[in-house]
Each structure stands twice: as structure tokens, then as C-alpha cells.
Structure 1
Amino acid sequence: MSESTNTGVIDKTAIRDAATIILLRQTAHGPDVLMGQRGAKAAFMPDKFVFPGGAVDTTDADIPVTMPDPCRARLAQAHDLPDALAAAAIREMWEETGLMMGLPGDWPDAPADWQGFAAHGLRPSAKGLRFIFRAITPPGRPRRFDARFFLADAGAITGDLDDFSAACEELSHLHWVPLAEARKLNLPFITEVVLAEVQAFAAGEDMPDTVPFFDNSTGVSTFRRIA
């Protein structure tokens, strides 16, 4: 949704589309999840540990990605450009961690924001993404997002999973956390909820055919599932 008002002033409390990736890698002690900490002076969720992610940019709609049909169909129920959400998730993870989710391929016409990605001989790929959760930030917060959470296996990443040298400074303390211990961190409420879902999947429970949706678009919190 647009942040602009009829006065031309940006309304930073308007609901913006956003996308996040919960990246898991398998280890000898079980799955680890990638998390980082937001700055103490951040306007939104200061000091909290979160997954890589952020708001959708207008240019994300122009990025060619391929996404599994069930995920794309569910995303399309509430978004005209579902592929833009997947592109945003991949871009935000790359910017915030330096990790790239893509497949080999020339991309000579890559937009300016993606030229560093293309320079590695990659094109973004959403084949490894699974849409598992949606949540809208409640009213009264300094920033509000309509966030879609994607689950992905670290095997979809190209390069060294421990190399965060190309990350921007938005997240600090980037590290792999044992999934079983992640909920002990300083987390936003919704991140705790999503982690509980992911832990259930990792423990062997079947992933449901519907996607949980915490709808806080109004003053009344509503929970439902996206078929």
C-alpha cells in the first residue's frame, strides 16, 4: 500500500507490503535458523532479533522469478503481483545478509539495485520458497506491514553460508541459531509465533494445506487461514 497522502507527506504508519525469509540449515544437532538483531535506535522493533526481510519496493514487480504454483496462488489472493513479494524476500535477504538465492544465468539487463547480484552470474529464483505465514502489524505502531513469511532451506543459497561480509548494517549479530533455542532470544511476538510453527514442521508434523493469517488491519485482531 502507498505511504503517500493527499498532502504529499509520507505516512510511515500506513500498511506496507513486506516479505521475510526463514532460512533453515541442517546440522548434526538439528536445524539452525538465520537471525539478526535490529538496532537499538530503529523505529520499528528496536533491539529485537528477526529474520531477514523488509518492505516491497516498486521495482520488485519487475524482477523475473519462478515460484511454486500453490504458494503463488495463495499470495495472489490478496496481492495483484505475488511474484513481487518473492522478489522482495530474496532482495532483502541478500541486502541484509549478503546471501544469494539464485540459479546460474546471465542477467545483462538487471536493474541497478540488482547488478551486484547479477555480477555473481546469478538470477533470483523463488523455487525454494514456501509461503507459510502472513501477519499485519496492529494499529498504533510506528511502522505497519502486511508481512508474508517464506520458509526456505539453506541448500537454495549459493556461496558460503557463514559469510556475511557483504551484508548491509541494518541487522547486527547475524548468526545461525539452533532452532530449538531461537525462542529464547529477544523476539517480537509475531516472530515467536512463526518460530513455533516452524519448530512443529521441523519436529516432523505435516505442514498444513492452509496458511495462518494474523489480521490486525483494524483494531480487532482476527485469525484465519488462507486456503
Structure 2
Amino acid sequence: MIAIITMFFVGGLVGPLQSLFATLLLTVVIVLGVLMTFAVSKVLSRTILKGVPSSFTLELPPYRRPQIGKVIVRSIFDRTLFVLGRAVAVAAPAGLIIWLMANITVGDMSVLAHCSTFLDPFAKLFGLDGVILIAFILGFPANEIVVPIMIMAYMASGSIMEFDSLLQLKELLVNNGWTWLTAVCVLLFSLMHWPCSTTCLTIHKETQSAKWTALSFAIPTVIGLLVCFVFANAVRLLGLV
């Protein structure tokens, strides 16, 4: 989000103004996400969750002085093990699938390019394109890999390239049809789309319900697509792109 805001909305500013406007725009996006969360929660409370009692009990443990060294060591080990475990269980297999799709060719295009071309007409309805949509789909195991997949697909490369600056990345995106409308729709969809695989697994573990896991996936996805569809087509009807 920060990269997109910097490239398409505050890139012309310099110095403290750039950081200030980038922070303000990012704050607006985050606040929008919070408001959407409250709105969806209210709708669910009056529909499918109506009448379902809920309770929350919090038992405070006895106060103990924190041991700084122990807290730091535990935090480092816990987070490190969690990240490594996620990489082994999820990111590595996903990376293998993405690499195969980018390097196996059918005709004169890779499987990744064929998939993005197939999705392109559908994605255009929401202010996106096929590459963006397939990147979000393949990024389901870990949202951090969405942008690298976009870069790989746009460059028709079987490997991820590293850019020296955001200007080079912006040039690549603009050359592949990105406008300010595309940037806004990517921001909106990033904010509202389905949770990653780790979150879905956690939801299933907490709820012990495939139904609620599916709903937790479907509700933000539908809302994200609907918001992008309304915004993109309103902008087009007004002739602003």
C-alpha cells in the first residue's frame, strides 16, 4: 500500500510533504478498512448472527514484574519459529507452484500468462487486470508474494527481479496499463480481499467449522469485488479516466 501510494499519488512531492501526504492517504485507507469492519459486523449481527448469544470472560492473572531478557528471547524464538514453520508449510510449496507456472510454456506463453489472459476480461470489470487477479489468487498462501508475482508476470520472466527504485517499478506498471484508477482498485482490493491461508487455518481451528471458515473467506472477497466494481465503473461513467 505504501509503495502504491508513493508511486501514484505523492511521487511528485519532495521532502517532508511526500511523507506527510503518504501518511495521510495510508491513514485514510486504514480507517476505511476499520469502518468497513464495523459495518459488516453490524450487518452480520442483524442477520445471520441475530439472536446468537456471545460472552467474553477475561480473567486477569496476578501481576508479576516482567523479565526483559526472557521476554525478548521468547519473542524472538516464538516469532522466528512461526515464520520458519509458515515458510516450510505454506510459502515453499506455493513458491514451487508459482515457479512452475512461470516457467512451463504452452504455445508461446507461460501457464501464468495464459491464466492472466483468461482472467483479464473479468478483472477489468473491477478496475484490475488478469495479472493482478492471478497474483492475488496465487498469493493466498502468503499475501507478501502478491507484488512479486505481478512483477514476474508483467516481465514475462521465470524469476523475480529486483528494482533499484520505485520509479522503475512504476514505469513497469504504467507500461502494462496501470492508471490511478488501477492503483486505487488494487488498494481497495488489498484492504478487503480474502484472508491468507494461515488466517483461514486459524479460523477453522478456532471455530471447528468449515462453514464459518468459508464465510470468512467469501464475505470480504465479495465486498472487495463489489467496492472495486462500483468505484471503477463510477469513475468510467464520469469520464475521469
In the superposition, the TM-score normalised over structure 1's length comes to 0.27
Give the number of the structure whose residues are more often strand, by fraction.
1
Give the number of the structure whose residues are more often helix, by fraction.
2
Q: Which has the higher contact order (CA 8 A, sep 6+)?
A: 1
In the superposition, the TM-score normalised over structure 2's length comes to 0.26
The higher radius of gyration belongs to 2
